[in-house]
Structure 1
Amino acid sequence: MIVFITGASAGFGAAMARTFVKNGHQVVLAARRKDRLEALAAELGESALPIAMDVTDKASIEEALSMLPQSWRQIDVLINNAGLALNTKPAHEVPLADWNTMIDTNVKGLVTMTHALLPSMVERGSGLVINLGSVAGHYPYPGGNVYGATKAFVEQFTLNLRADLVGTGVRATNLAPGLCGGTEFSNVRLKGDDAAAAKVYEGTQPLTAEDIAATAYWIATLPPHVNVNLIELMPTCQGFSPFNIKRA
């Protein structure tokens, strides 16, 4: 199968690329950081095709898809992995720019990519869209504000895709991880404060990018009549958020 992964230059995306290639599949590596893509493609060999692309830019997506060699154009699996969280401050203290960046990437980027590839999947009568959600889309927590809202959008959008895609042979899944270490997620969220990012995982055994990659691969290799609507993962060290109560 041919798998198109956004945000493939690091974290979940890179781990998923390695997993699919290792198991004999072709992977289009799409992300903004061309140098990282090329390094990953060099590691993975001819089964990986690096393409510099920004999901927040529709013209960039269109150009990237137009550059695909003919033999790479039948995308069987789209993994909408590109996404980010910014800031952990309460809503009234977060810069509007941070909210807009999350919406542009996690929501607009995801739907633009899906809109670009979905029609050809429906026309062929097969295909799979895996959207990377989060437990933050199900359970609110202080500082989650717009990040959690974007992931709630991912869940509802995925379910609505399923409603539209009944009988087409095209599947859609929301893959929603909890606490996951070994990626750039917290470093990006905390604006490069590596010490603060490390504290997020201090004393825990979080999920790994490889855990998420294995899950995505399992979803993609199920029989074509099976659709995983939602799969939520947490490490055993994580539970559900307590109510946030301010005491005098």
Structure 2
Amino acid sequence: MVYHSEHSWALVTGASDGIGKATALELSSRGFRVILHGRNRTKLEMVAKELKGESKIFVMDGSKFTLDDIERMKQEIGVLEISVLINNVSIANDFQPLDELSSENIDSIIRLNISFVTHLIRIVLPSLKRQTHSLIINIGSYAGIYPPGLLSVYASSKSFQHSLSESLRRESPPGMRVELHLAGSVVSSSNRAEQTFMRPTSNIFAKAVCDHVGATNIIAPYWPHSILIWIFSIMPSSWIDFISKKTLGSIKNE
């Protein structure tokens, strides 16, 4: 709550559904005014109705944005007092080898997961720096640390977000905090697998994100995910290679 102010906003990207929507609802329940970003205005308006407090909507398709869109972003977002930015929006490539991916699929991932996120942070930074206390949370993935096969472009984009977060943290002024929150498998609109101990709902994950702000710079906020990352860290690389091929091979077959 140190980042909460009655005069400032929390901006959540990819807030139409899944983790982004759940995070927006969690922030709203804690008293934040929330800016909802997404590419579908109708979905965002439905989410806004579920929020407890004041909200704004910012519509932009980050996988297809242009230079004109960046200027619009400056006009709509750059003028607001934002104390919290949660970069959740991202897409993954199809479960295919790199040479089988379409040019459109590759380009959309790079534009959304890397270019859009970077431009958005650059535009919001002046506002974040004006606040006494401000916060950036980039929702990463352990795929960015232990890249699996068949997800080469997605995993690489998450590695970029890892580096971006660390570099931003080191150049940030006092009072501004930058964190990378690593996600494993989470039930969402893009992952409709059943909830399990290792696969929480978006609501459970979003609460874990908010509960662990300030714990450390890089964290897996849902503790079963952190156990999995720790197990990977002590495994020989040959074991990780074997598990990755077996797991993703079965997913591709399905």
TM-score (norm 1): 0.80
> SS state of the match for residue 242, structure 1?
helix
Deviation, 1:13, is: 0.7
CA distance in 2, matches of 1:168, 1:87: 41
What's 1:178 paired with? Answer: 184
Asked if 1:151 is matched to 2:139, the reply is no
CA distance in 2, matches of 1:217, 1:38: 23
Deviation, 1:217, is: 1.6
Cα gap change, 1:69 to 1:109, in 2 (>3 Å): closer
CA distance in 1, matches of 2:195, 2:47: 29
CA distance in 1, matches of 2:158, 2:128: 24
Deviation, 1:202, is: 8.4
Deviation, 1:211, is: 2.5
Matched ranges for 1:78-89 at <5 A: 78-89=85-96
Asked if 1:48 is matched to 2:55, the reply is yes
CA distance in 2, matches of 1:202, 1:218: 21
2:156 is aligned with what amino acid? A
Structure 1: gaps spanning 5 or more residues: 187-196
CA distance in 2, matches of 1:205, 1:135: 13
1:131 is aligned with what amino acid? N
Asked if 1:60 is matched to 2:69, the reply is yes
CA distance in 2, matches of 1:170, 1:17: 20
Residue pair 2:185, 2:198 contacting (<8 A) in 1 also = no
Residue pair 1:52, 1:64 contacting (<8 A) in 2 also = no
Deviation, 1:170, is: 1.1
What's 2:210 paired with? Answer: 217
Structure 2: gaps spanning 5 or more residues: 233-238, 246-254
Task: Please tell me the root mean square deviation across aligned C-alpha atoms, in Å.
Answer: 2.7
Matched ranges for 1:3-152 at <5 A: 3-56=10-63, 57=65, 58-67=67-76, 73-152=80-159
Cα gap change, 1:185 to 1:61, in 2 (>3 Å): farther
Identity of aligned residues (%): 28
What's 1:169 paired with? Answer: 175
CA distance in 1, matches of 2:71, 2:180: 24
Report the number of matched residues. Answer: 225
Deviation, 1:180, is: 1.1
What's 2:167 paired with? Answer: 160
2:217 is aligned with what amino acid? N
Residue pair 2:78, 2:123 contacting (<8 A) in 1 also = no
CA distance in 1, matches of 2:37, 2:186: 22
Task: Describe the superposition over 1:87-145 as per-residue Cα deviations: whole angstroms up to 9, x where unpaired.
Answer: 01112211222111111000111101100011222244531111111010011212121
What's 1:190 paired with? Answer: none
